[in-house]
Amino acid sequence: METVVRRECSRGTAIRDVMPNDHDEEVPMRFRPLPVTFVPVLLMLLLLALGLPVVSTAQDGTPAAAPVALGAAECTVEPIDPARYGEAALAATPQASQPDVATGQPADPDTITAVTQAIVQSIACANAGDLARLLSVIDPSYAPTLLDVPADQLQGQLDDLAAATPGAAATPLTDDVDQVAAPSILLGIGDVIVFADGRVAATVDVERPETGPTTTIIYLQMSGTRYVITSYASPTGDATPAA
């Protein structure tokens, strides 16, 4: 089953946590409206590069270190241009179903590094509430699903993003009593698999207070010079679609 966790942000955007897990019930979580810089967001996922002694993939044979709470300091990807991103989302073609991981081949070290960086950025920017940077590692075709808005309404959310203070620091998510919300914790990144069509998949373990440890398969594809996330799936095959 897929747990849907909605967090209301200051401009009314409901953000979905789309990482599948084994729980059957929706978990209610309420967050107070935040002062707007960038629209706060929740999602999912080393600190800047695979070579740092924080976490390693299973393919390199090195045991993972302690779990990692990533945040604004690690969210370093360039933010999107909201207008261009919205155009790309509207023009995007829904992707075919994701391939079975059993049909892929182990990735080479360079691919593992690039995929790991994309996953780390996604978790760090989600924890920081930095939507502009989070979307840089999300394929435009997947953005409506991630933000839980119809494709034809996505541009309105991006217009809000463009109206936010340029270059302002992200506002961390807060809970009912003005405490900073507990971040998603990166437990580890497993095997990275490459498919015949160039798409890749990585098995990622993340922990959140509301769900506990969760294993997710993250699918990515190359876009320009980096990998972007196209969808998530549980190891049992319950996927969140690409569009």
DSSP 174-222: B-TTSPBPPPPEEEEEEEEEE-TTS-EEEEEEEEETTTEEEEEEEEEEE
Q: Which domain holds residue 230?
A: 5-75+103-240
Question: pLDDT category, 233, cuts 50, 70, 90?
Answer: confident
- Choose the weakest-confidence range: 14-28, 37-51, 113-127, 131-145: 37-51
Question: pLDDT category, 17, cuts 50, 70, 90?
Answer: very low
Name every residue whose Cβ is closer than 8 Å to that of residue 171 and which is 6 or more positions away in sequence. 34, 35, 36, 37, 38, 40, 129
Residue 92 belongs to a domain = no
237 has pLDDT over 80: no
Percent of the chain predicted with pLDDT > 70: 61
Mean pLDDT computed over 99-118: 93
**Counted domains in the chain:** 1
Average pLDDT of every residue of the chain: 71
What is d(CA 42, CA 79) in angstroms, rounded to the nearest whole number? Answer: 16
pLDDT at site 210:
76
Residue 82 belongs to a domain = no
Residue 217 belongs to a domain = yes
What is d(CA 47, CA 124) in angstroms, rounded to the nearest whole number? Answer: 9
The secondary structure of the chain in percent helix, strand, coil, rounded to multiples of 5, reads 30, 25, 50
21 has pLDDT over 60: no
Residue 89 belongs to a domain = no
pTM reported for the whole predicted model: 0.68
Quick one: how far is CA 224 from the chain centroid?
A: 18
Residue 209 belongs to a domain = yes
What is d(CA 159, CA 182) in angstroms, rounded to the nearest whole number? Answer: 28
Question: pLDDT category, 208, cuts 50, 70, 90?
Answer: confident
